Structures are given as C-alpha cells and as structure tokens.
Amino acid sequence: MPDTSPDPGVPAAEPGSDAGPRPVDGRGRLLAALRRPGSRGQAVAALLLAVLGFAAVTQVRANGRDDSYVGARQGDLIQYINSLSLASQRAENEIAKLQKTRTSLGNDSQARRTALAQAKQRATTLGILAGTIPAQGPGIRVTVTSGGTAVGTNQLIDGLEELRDAGAEVIEINDRVRVVAQTSLKDTTQGAVVVDGTTLEPPYVIDAIGDPHTLATALDFADGFIAEVKSVGGKVKVTERKATDGIEVASVRTVKAPTYAKDDDTE
C-alpha cells in the first residue's frame, strides 16, 4: 500500500479548511529538522553552525589586526618601518653593550683572581722567610754534641751563617726557635746558649730547609763549621733528607712592628 503518513516537513491542513498543504521552503525544512530531537540533521546543522561561527570570528580578528594599516598612507608606512628599524638598532646596541660589559666583568674577575693568587703566593713566601708560618721541604739535620769544651755561640753563629750563604730558606734549632735575620745568640755560664731569649742546651739540633747536598757541603769545607766544632772537642753529624722524608719546621715567630724604620713613600 502506498505510504499515507504525512510528510514531517509539510504542515498539515487546519481542520475545516479546504486548502491543501502549504509549500515549505528550505528554511522551514531546516527548522523542522532541528525540532526533531536526536535527529542526524540536527547534529549536522549544529556542526555546520559551529564551523561557520569559528570562521567568522577568525576573519573578524584578522581584519582587526590589519585595519590599522589598510588605510595608512605611504608616508605613514615608511614612518612605521623607520620606527621599527630604529627600535631594532637600539636593541642591537643594548645587546652589544651588555656583551661588552659581560666580557669586561669576566676580564676584571680573572684579573682579580690572578692578583689574589699572586698576593697569596707572595704572602706565603714572605711568611716563610720571616718565620711567621710553618714550613717543610728537603734539607739537612745537623746534630752538634759538645766535648771537653762546650760548643757555644762562636761555633753556632758560624754554622748558621754558612747555611744561609748556601741558600738555606728555613732554619730551626732544637725544634723550639725559628732562626731569622734578627736572631741573636748568647752564652750562659752553665754551658748553654740563649737564642732569642730561649735557653737551649746541647746537643744542638739544627734543621735547615734547602738543597740537601749544597747545605751539607757548605758545612764541611776546610776550616769550616765541622772543623771548628771538632777543634773544641765536639762532634757534628749531618743527615741529608730528600723531599719524601724532608724537614718539618713547626716553630713560628711573632712579627713586631719596627720602632725606627718607616716605609719610604716618597715615590
């Protein structure tokens, strides 16, 4: 049998009316399709409307960005370009200045580190020579024992001078007194020696840091320190020590400010 169900897109004739179904245009069909819940047409229409809305918004935004230049004159466009070029040049100049500053800071930092390292090295050297810091290194140990006549200041001063002339950098006596340029020695009536206010008794042990062979040779030449000690009945034993089992000097001195000497700042 032929399908007699009314077309959903065509509104039915009103009761009592002789007129037939009214013609329906495309808009009416779309509205009718949207009124049907859950229909495929409804989903397709919603998707089309969403796509159309997104495209419209995108176009409006694009037009908004370009509107500022659409009606601009040629002179205005040239001015815009010049402004951008100047801003770019200023940015490049600022970058170059910052890079130059960074390089300068790096050079200054390296210079400060080098100067600090040199200052520390110089302070260490002066501290060793002045006897204000401990020291260690290769050298010799000289043990002096008395015989019939006590070994005194005459023999010890000669021995210290010979060690200094041979290049001894650090000298210590009996692990108690650090010998420096201002060191003084004095004999006592009991056969001992006072070194910088400290009384030392024999045997005297002199530790000297320097080249072991040179120091040992300096004490053993004709009429030198060893010969002089032997002439008063004493004995001298010299032991060379290399870097592996070198001399360790722990005694230090306190530096006092000079009373009369002043720094020459005439330059």
| 46-81 confidence digits (pLDDT tens) | 656 666 666 666 665 655 555 555 566 777 777 777
Nearest to 151 by CA among 218, 206, 221: 206
In this prediction, residues 122-139 reach a mean pLDDT of: 93
Checking phi first, is residue 232 left (phi over 0); if not, alpha (psi -120 to 50) or beta? alpha
Nearest to 245 by CA among 212, 206, 204, 205: 212
21-to-3, 12, 26, 76, 131 alpha-carbon distances in Å: 16, 6, 16, 64, 125
Per-residue confidence (pLDDT) for residue 265, from 0 to 100: 67
0.85 exceeded by the pTM? no
Q: Is 164 exposed, middle or buried (0-12, 13-18, 19+ CB in 10 A)?
A: middle
For 19-38, write each residue's pLDDT tens digit.
Answer: 455 555 656 665 665 565 55
| Whether pLDDT at 103 is above 70 | yes
In this prediction, residues 230-253 reach a mean pLDDT of: 93
234 near 146, Cβ under 8 Å? yes
226 near 163, Cβ under 8 Å? no
Half-sphere exposure of 236 (CA within 13 A, CB side): 21
Per-residue confidence (pLDDT) for residue 155, from 0 to 100: 93
In this prediction, residues 158-186 reach a mean pLDDT of: 94
For the domain covering 135-249, report its CATH number.
Answer: 3.30.70.1880
In this prediction, residues 106-132 reach a mean pLDDT of: 88
Nearest to 165 by CA among 239, 207, 215, 228: 215
Per-residue confidence (pLDDT) for residue 267, from 0 to 100: 54
Structural tokens at position 85: 């070029």
What DSSP state is assigned to residue 9? Answer: T
| Whether pLDDT at 228 is above 70 | yes
- The three-class DSSP label of residue 134 is coil
Q: Which residues contact 35 (CB under 8 A, 6 or more apart)?
A: none
131 near 176, Cβ under 8 Å? no
Nearest to 155 by CA among 165, 145, 166, 141: 145
Strand duo 185-187 + 193-195: pairing: antiparallel
Q: Which residues contact 24 (CB under 8 A, 6 or more apart)?
A: 9, 10, 11, 32
| Whether pLDDT at 1 is above 50 | no
